[in-house]
Amino acid sequence: MTDYRNIVILTGAGVSAESGIDTFRAEGGLWEQHRVEDVATPEAFARDPDLVLRFYDMRRAAIQTKVPNGAHLALARLDREWAGNLLIVTQNVDDLHERAGARRVLHMHGEHLNAWCTACDTRHPWRGPLMDRPPCPHCGANALRPDIVWFGEMPYRMDDIYAALGQADLFVSIGTSGAVYPAAGLVREARAQGTATLELNLEPSQGTRWFDEARHGPASVLVPAWVDEVLSGQSG
């Protein structure tokens, strides 16, 4: 029988890697192919909006051709069947958690399938390109940008994340290198308040020493096995 009830899960690019979406920091990963400073900062967007919009248009189109893998499906099953509180905080900007069926998902770094109007500050579901400067469905201004948190910008809903973490008995980090804050700092917050911590990642993350337990291997193997464990504990 497990002795925890409230779970916060942090996911990163490693969860979507086996769906064919590039991670950021692997050899040949996204940040080796593109300089962060060129495509993922407000300054880059101000300097060369066409380059930035084209980059995100390509990524938005690409994720729509991918499908959830076993890790997304297992987390969706946990979301459906876990009776306690559960929050999947994802750094990923794809929609694979949702397409697998997960509902309790928070996108702290934004979402590819949203456009944000910087004129009227509204967000809109968006699947097509932004390169041709379509009008905002709400105010008509040609001021839509990707709804992605760029370097130097504040991740979304940190208050909600810390509130959920404050109630958590278990914090699990899956498929993230632990290189980007504030996400990378959540394990230390959890630890400081006595929450159990578990890492599931292909290799030790930068913050692996902060976890009570770490299991290393592909997410499509580790996550379903861990979800089975947790759900069998719940009914036991």
> Which residue ranges make up the site for ligand OAD (CB under 6 A)?
12-14, 17-18, 23-26, 29, 40, 91, 109, 149, 175-177, 179-180, 201-203, 205, 218-219
Under 8 Å between Cβ of 205 and 199: yes
Rg (CA), the chain: 18
> Tokens representing 233?
């504990």
For residue 201, give the nearest of 190, 187, 189 by alpha carbon: 187
Query: Residue holding tokens 């300089």?
Result: 35
Of 174 and 230, the one with the shorter C-beta distance to ligand OAD is: 174
Strand 105-107 relative to strand 213-216, pairing: unpaired
Q: At closest approach, how far in Å is the CB of 201 from ligand OAD?
A: 5
Q: At closest approach, how far in Å is the CB of 114 from ligand OAD?
A: 14
Of 6 and 90, the one with the shorter C-beta distance to ligand OAD is: 90
Q: At closest approach, how far in Å is the CB of 204 from ligand OAD?
A: 8
> Tokens representing 142?
């040609």
Q: Is 89 helix (H, G, I), strand (E, B) or coil?
A: strand
Strand 196-201 relative to strand 170-174, pairing: parallel
Q: At closest approach, how far in Å is the CB of 122 from ligand OAD?
A: 21
Give the amino acid at 17. A
Of 17 and 115, the one with the shorter C-beta distance to ligand OAD is: 17
In the sheet that 144-148 helps form, which strands lie side by side, from edge to edge?
122-125, 110-117, 144-148
Of 161 and 219, the one with the shorter C-beta distance to ligand OAD is: 219
Q: At closest approach, how far in Å is the CB of 74 from ligand OAD?
A: 12
CA distance 86 to 4: 11
- Residue number, nearest CB to ligand OAD: 14
CA distance 137 to 146: 15
Is-catalytic flag, 109?
Answer: yes
Q: Which of 109, 112, 124, 216 is catalytic?
A: 109
Of 18 and 98, the one with the shorter C-beta distance to ligand OAD is: 18
Active site residues: 109
